[in-house]
């Protein structure tokens, strides 16, 4: 084609710059009526003109580029919205990668790291509390800050996001999330308050736990006893060396308020920012799949595939937490035992690793096109893309149109009783999950006297299979059985009843309270400081609140010796609680893994029940609105309220700091588990009403068919 012909086409396209609001048919008519195009889209002798099949300005402009450059790949003949790549970099080989299964897997990998934050925080709660001097209520505030950010952005992000380039929006959100996690790692720069409050600052050594730092815990021999004659002291020690058990140790009541460090507020803000940018990811991801999938029944399978990938996040976070918990906070070698209450793991390292991994894995998501050409809703997606690409002068008008549709969409979804009941049930379930997952590791550490590393490894290895298989199997069952709204609701109520019944075993799988030796005589004679609390276990398998109360006069980092109150063995004591031989740890972990499997099987049925209960055009907003209320009334208050419940079971507070040294195990078990069970009962009652609604009133169907979908769309209008 001659360059002059290309110039004719270019001049014709200039007429379309003033016709942005016209339909594609009108645009074609304008081209065909152009005087510069004789023959109106057909051949004249020696010349070739733009054919009538051109339907948009963007395609016509790309055709001009093909004329001038002679590109053999002809990828420019497609709309930029359907090209895989970034900017001008859209190679022909990359277009083969623009498919939904690959998108579901790649974003699932990126989503792994966006699902690690809560689990990583939960695995590091003990170290964070000791490092920053926080109570469980304070760490609950950090967990809730993530939900506050989620709450702020989820509704508006879910509604406006569908008019944007969804893959790029998801990619940028993941990058910002990774930066927020990396910023949380800056809390490492704060002073280690466990070292200041418990170990003191009377050492000039840079190595943690040196011998000089143990002096404050040792028994001080009275000055009026000559050092050369210890007969009277030894006689006294023999008289008081037989301890009696005290079921309730001396308690430092109240939470001393020495102020919260800057690191606490930094982590609070970073968690809120991370919650904002990840809030709309699932609604937009689901909307992108629903708009581009050919067969509606396959959307459950694709969601299940991606969700199965994402659920690897919590196990990975736990295993990562196990590794970082095994390292001392400054990454230097330390002989200190992890059972020692002074131990602070390198919690900050996990947040740094997660942040970098999230940024790297989010970059490929940016290359996917705005829309896929083979989707079943391409016309609607194209119209939304056209709305988002208005000229600059019409952006305000387009934004008003988008926001004006928001109240109407909300009114439509809140007129659905099935959606309302699913929302209530989801909110109750969200409260249980947020409260349990946020402090489950702390509960296991306290109940069974385990280190954070032991708990993280046990949970991470076991549930990495139960989470993945449960979620994937739930998606397969929905697809194979072709469960509609009714089938998904019945599956959800059966899941809730099973969970409540099996969770009753938790009350049996628990350990008794810790008993301490009552050595008040040593406290008086040894001049033991009430604020120098360092729980130790003697060779006689008795617990002491400090080496001083055990009458120990010598000590090193991991061993205190010459303890007059300990007559068995070598008169030695070691930091940490004695092993009480509680046999229920393995039973508890096994039961928890099975419950996790059942719970994950309900993810896809619950998700599909929500999106099938509303208009197809309202699905993204319905998911976002549901997430908003579940966060506001469920996941947001749960960590703070459960944290207060846990703090109410504390027996010994750290002197001068706000974290707990010892909990009442029985009270912890009854209050923590009892709260979850009470909410579960209410959830089951709501689900039973929902079953009656969809079965007795015959709302929904058991099989997804094209005719039923069309009928539902007509009824929803």
Residue of 208, 252, 245 lying closest to 532 (CA atoms): 252
Query: Would you state the structure tokens that stand for residue 205, as one six-digit string?
Result: 């050594």
CB of 497 closer than 8 Å to CB of 686: no
In percent, how much of the chain has pLDDT > 90?
16
pLDDT digit string, tens, across residues 497-513: 999 999 999 999 989 88
Which helix (H) or strand (E) element contains residue 422? helix 417-448
pLDDT digit string, tens, across residues 504-552: 999 999 898 888 887 666 667 787 877 778 889 988 888 998 888 888 8
pLDDT digit string, tens, across residues 554-611: 877 788 888 888 877 678 888 989 888 888 999 999 999 999 899 888 888 888 888 8
Query: Would you state the structure tokens that stand for residue 688, as one six-digit string?
Result: 């039973």
In the predicted structure, residue 645 carries a pLDDT above the cut 70: yes
Predicted pLDDT at 214: 67
Q: Using CA atoms, how far apart are residues 649 and 473, in angstroms rounded to an integer? A: 39
Strand pairing report for 560-563 and 552-555: antiparallel
Tell me if residue 103 falls in helix, strand or coil. helix
Contacts of 93 (CB under 8 A, 6+ apart): none
| 466 dihedral zone (left: phi>0; alpha: psi -120 to 50; beta) | alpha
What average pLDDT does the segment 219-231 reach?
A: 49
**Chain position carrying tokens 């507070």:** 653
* Domain ranges across the chain: 3-77, 100-191+261-511+582-716, 212-252+515-575
Tell me if residue 505 falls in helix, strand or coil. helix
Strand pairing report for 244-246 and 516-518: antiparallel
Higher pLDDT, 218 or 222: 218
Structural Rg of the chain based on CA atoms? 32
Predicted pLDDT at 222: 57
Tell me if residue 47 falls in helix, strand or coil. strand
Q: What angle do CA 337, 340, 344 make, to 5 degrees?
A: 85
Q: Using CA atoms, how far apart are residues 348 and 132, in angstroms rounded to an integer? A: 12
What average pLDDT does the segment 36-46 reach?
A: 46
Q: Using CA atoms, how far apart are residues 109 and 308, in angstroms rounded to an integer? A: 10
In the predicted structure, residue 486 carries a pLDDT above the cut 80: yes
Q: Using CA atoms, how far apart are residues 52 and 62, in angstroms rounded to an integer? A: 15
CA 662 to chain centre: 28
Average model confidence (pLDDT) across the chain: 75
CB of 658 closer than 8 Å to CB of 134: yes
Q: How confident is the model at residue 86 (pLDDT cuts 50, 70, 90)?
A: confident
State if pTM tops 0.85.
Answer: no
Q: What angle do CA 148, 264, 186 make, to 5 degrees?
A: 105
Largest CA distance in the chain: 126
What φ, ψ does residue 574 adopt, rounded to 5°?
Answer: -125, 145
Contacts of 69 (CB under 8 A, 6+ apart): none
Question: Looking at residue 572, what DSSP letter applies?
Answer: -
CB of 652 closer than 8 Å to CB of 533: yes
Contacts of 149 (CB under 8 A, 6+ apart): 271, 272, 273, 274, 275, 276, 277, 279
CB of 201 closer than 8 Å to CB of 400: no
What is the secondary structure of 129-158 as a DSSP string? HHHHT--HHHHHHHHHHHHHHHHHHHHHHH
Residue of 157, 13, 103 lying closest to 625 (CA atoms): 157
Beta strands in 593-656 (DSSP E): 650-653
Helical spans, DSSP H, in 297-394: 299-310, 313-325, 347-362, 378-388
**Chain position carrying tokens 């040792």:** 218
CATH of domain 100-191+261-511+582-716: 1.20.1250.20
Predicted pLDDT at 179: 94
What φ, ψ does residue 362 adopt, rounded to 5°?
Answer: -85, -20
Q: Using CA atoms, how far apart are residues 392 and 713, in angstroms rounded to an integer? A: 34
Contacts of 96 (CB under 8 A, 6+ apart): none
Predicted pLDDT at 396: 63
Distances from the Cα of 525 to the Cαs of 200, 405, 533, in angstroms? 22, 78, 17
In percent, how much of the chain has pLDDT > 70?
70
Q: How confident is the model at residue 414 (pLDDT cuts 50, 70, 90)?
A: confident
Predicted pLDDT at 356: 94
Predicted pLDDT at 521: 64
Predicted pLDDT at 209: 41
pLDDT digit string, tens, across residues 157-174: 877 877 888 888 899 999
Q: Crossing angle, helix 395-413 and helix 378-388, to 10 degrees?
A: 130
Q: Using CA atoms, how far apart are residues 529 and 88, in angstroms rounded to an integer? A: 72
Ranking 94-103, 205-214, 325-334, 646-655 by mean pLDDT, the lowest is: 205-214
Q: Using CA atoms, how far apart are residues 475 and 376, in angstroms rounded to an integer? A: 21
In the predicted structure, residue 48 carries a pLDDT above the cut 50: no
**Chain position carrying tokens 């020495």:** 258
Residue of 81, 93, 244, 239 lying closest to 163 (CA atoms): 81
In the predicted structure, residue 35 carries a pLDDT above the cut 70: no
Q: Crossing angle, helix 603-612 and helix 485-503, to 10 degrees?
A: 140
pLDDT digit string, tens, across residues 341-368: 888 889 999 999 999 999 999 988 888 8
pLDDT digit string, tens, across residues 655-707: 765 788 889 999 999 999 999 999 999 999 999 998 888 887 665 443 333 34
């Amino acid at each position: 084609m001659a360059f002059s012909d290309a110039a004719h086409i270019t001049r014709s396209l200039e007429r379309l710059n003033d016709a942005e609001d016209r339909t594609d048919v009108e645009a074609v008519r304008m081209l065909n009526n152009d005087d510069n195009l004789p023959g109106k889209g057909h051949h004249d002798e020696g010349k070739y003109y733009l054919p009538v099949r051109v339907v948009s300005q963007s395609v016509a402009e790309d055709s001009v580029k093909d004329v001038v450059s002679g590109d053999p790949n002809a990828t420019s003949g497609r709309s930029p919205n359907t090209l895989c790549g970034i900017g001008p970099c859209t190679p022909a080989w990359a277009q083969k990668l623009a498919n939904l299964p690959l998108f579901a897997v790649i974003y699932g990998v990126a989503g792994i790291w966006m699902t690690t934050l809560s689990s990583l925080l939960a695995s590091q709660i003990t170290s964070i509390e000791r490092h920053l001097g926080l109570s469980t209520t304070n760490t609950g505030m950090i967990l809730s800050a993530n939900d506050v950010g989620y709450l702020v952005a989820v509704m508006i992000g879910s509604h406006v996001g569908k008019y944007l380039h969804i893959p790029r929006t998801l990619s940028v959100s993941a990058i910002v999330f990774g930066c927020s996690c990396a910023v949380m790692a800056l809390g490492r720069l704060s002073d280690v308050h466990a070292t200041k409050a418990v170990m003191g600052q009377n050492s000039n050594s840079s190595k943690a736990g040196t011998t000089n730092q143990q002096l404050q815990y040792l028994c001080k021999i009275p000055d009026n006893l000559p050092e050369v004659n210890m007969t009277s002291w030894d006689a006294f020690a023999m008289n008081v060396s037989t301890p009696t058990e005290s079921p309730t140790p001396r308690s430092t009541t109240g939470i001393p308020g020495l102020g919260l460090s800057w690191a606490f507020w930094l982590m609070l803000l970073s968690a809120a920012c991370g919650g904002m940018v990840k809030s709309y990811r699932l609604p937009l991801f689901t909307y992108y799949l629903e708009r581009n999938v050919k067969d509606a029944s396959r959307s459950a399978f694709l969601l299940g595939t991606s969700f199965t990938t994402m659920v690897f996040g919590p196990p990975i976070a736990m295993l990562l937490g196990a590794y970082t918990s095994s390292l001392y906070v400054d990454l230097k070698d330390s002989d200190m035992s992890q059972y020692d209450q002074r131990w602070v793991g390198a919690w900050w390292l996990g947040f740094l690793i997660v942040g970098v991994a999230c940024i790297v894995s989010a970059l490929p998501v940016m290359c996917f096109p705005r829309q896929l050409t083979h989707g079943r809703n391409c016309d609607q997606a194209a119209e939304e893309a056209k709305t988002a690409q208005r000229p600059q002068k019409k952006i305000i008008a387009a934004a008003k149109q988008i926001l004006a549709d928001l109240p109407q969409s909300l009114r439509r979804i809140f007129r659905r009783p099935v959606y309302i009941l699913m929302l209530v049930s989801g909110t109750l379930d969200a409260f249980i999950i947020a409260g349990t997952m946020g402090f489950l590791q702390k509960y296991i550490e306290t109940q069974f006297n385990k280190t954070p590393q032991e708990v993280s490894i046990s949970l991470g290895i076991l549930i990495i299979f139960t989470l993945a298989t449960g979620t994937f199997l739930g998606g397969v069952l929905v697809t194979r059985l072709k469960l509609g709204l009714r089938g998904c609701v019945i599956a959800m109520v059966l899941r809730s009843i099973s969970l409540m019944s099996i969770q009753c075993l938790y009350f049996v799988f628990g350990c008794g309270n810790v008993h301490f030796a009552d050595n008040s005589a040593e406290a008086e004679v040894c001049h033991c400081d009430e604020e120098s609390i360092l729980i130790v276990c003697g060779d006689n398998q008795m617990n002491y609140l400090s080496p001083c109360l055990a009458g120990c006069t010598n000590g090193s980092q991991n061993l205190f010796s010459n303890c007059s109150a300990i007559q068995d063995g070598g008169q030695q004591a070691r930091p940490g609680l004695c092993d009480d031989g509680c046999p229920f740890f393995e039973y508890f972990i096994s039961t928890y893994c099975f419950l996790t499997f059942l719970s994950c099987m309900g993810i896809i049925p619950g998700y599909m029940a929500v999106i099938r209960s509303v208009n197809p055009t309202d699905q993204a907003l319905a998911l976002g609105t549901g997430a908003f209320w579940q966060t506001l009334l469920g996941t947001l208050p749960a960590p703070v309220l459960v944290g207060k419940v846990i703090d109410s079971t504390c027996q010994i507070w750290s002197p001068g700091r706000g974290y707990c040294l010892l909990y009442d195990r029985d009270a912890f078990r009854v209050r923590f588990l009892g709260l979850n069970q009470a909410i579960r009962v209410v959830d089951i009652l709501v689900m039973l009403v929902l079953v009656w609604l969809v079965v007795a009133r015959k709302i929904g169907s058991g099989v997804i068919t094209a005719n039923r979908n069309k009928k539902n769309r007509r009824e929803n209008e």
